Every structure is written in structure tokens, then in C-alpha cells.
Amino acid sequence: MPTKAHAQSIIENLKSRGETVSVAESLTGGGIGHALTQIPGASEVFIGGIIAYTSDVKVNFLGVPQSTIDEFTVVSEEVAVAMAQGALSKIGTTWAISTTGIAGPGDYMGIREGTVWIAIAGPINQTLQLTLDSGREGVRQGAISSAIGNFARILSYRNN
């Protein structure tokens, strides 16, 4: 199922349950929020997001502890989870989706280019690590597609 169909499913499922979603995006630079807001009716369930491209924004706007970044780096499961939890807390939604990773070019602090962490926080919490070999834009698009697809599956599963 393509990203647009997953986004449509997300909007419909959230609307039917009266739930909301926010995003905290780093390497995807607002791409998840953009994909969701392409769907008519998204304004009923998509509240907003924070593009936390730098560590300072992760710390100061999402409340990610600097000690977590220092210990695990910004490209880690721990930071992805803290970003999603920060979005839940700061924006006040039922769900939050976060992304962090290295789109490239090149590796970062010994972490391979194409490494991505996605966290979904809410009634169900999930993290996903990806290793993508598709160039900068391919990594970003792969992260967006994976985040939206996984969130759509979680919501679909909860409906059954």
C-alpha cells in the first residue's frame, strides 16, 4: 500500500476514534506531517509537529535530555523515543511519531549513512530501526513511508 493510502487510513482511523497525532521529525524534515496533511480532513486529527533538525531543538523544544544525546547520540532508539514522548507532552496528542537518522552523504560519529530510527508513542509504543541504501532522498522517503506504514498498521491492528 503506497504512502498516500496509508495516510488516508491513518486519518480515517483517528477520526473514527476521536484520537489525534503529532510529529517530531529530524531527518524527514516535516515529510510525515506533509504526507498526512495531503489527506482531506487531516485538520481534525493532525495537530502539528516540531521539526527538530538540531540537537538544540530536540533538547529545548521536545525535552530530550542532553545526557541521552551524549550517551547514545542523536541517531538512537533512545533519542527517537524521547522525541516522540516530547511531542506527546508538548503538543498534547493521543499519538506521536518521531524520526531521527542519517540521510547522508556520509556516516556520522561511526554510525552508518542510511541508519534511521522511528518511534511511535501513544496507547501502543513501537520503535523501528531501518538501514537504507538509497541515497539521501531515498533514505528520507524510505523513512517517511516506513513511519506512515507502520503507524497505519498499528491503528488497523487496534481496530480489530
Q: Determine contact, residues 100/27, Cβ cutoff 8 Å.
A: yes
Domain residue extents for the chain:
3-159
Exposure of 121 in the CB half-sphere (CA atoms within 13 A): 24
3-state secondary structure (DSSP) of residue 108: strand
Helix residue ranges per DSSP H, the chain: 3-17, 31-37, 55-62, 66-72, 77-91, 135-159
Q: Name the residue among 20, 1, 8, 156 with its Cα closest to residue 96.
A: 20
- Interatomic CA distance for residues 39 and 156, integer angstroms: 17
pLDDT at 125: 97
Q: In order along the chain (160 residues), what is the average pLDDT of each group of 10 residues? A: 88 97 97 97 98 98 98 98 98 98 92 97 97 94 97 84
Is 3.90.950.20 the CATH classification of the domain at 3-159? yes
Q: Which pLDDT score, from 0 to 100, does residue 9 have?
A: 96
In this predicted structure, what is the pLDDT of residue 95? 98
**Nearest-angstrom CA–CA distance, 11 and 156:** 11
- Predicted pLDDT of residue 155: 96
Q: What is the model's pLDDT at position 154?
A: 96
In the chain, what are the helix, strand and coil shares in percent, each to the nearest 5?
50, 20, 30
Report how far residue 148's alpha carbon sits from residue 120's, in angstroms, rounded to the nearest whole number: 10
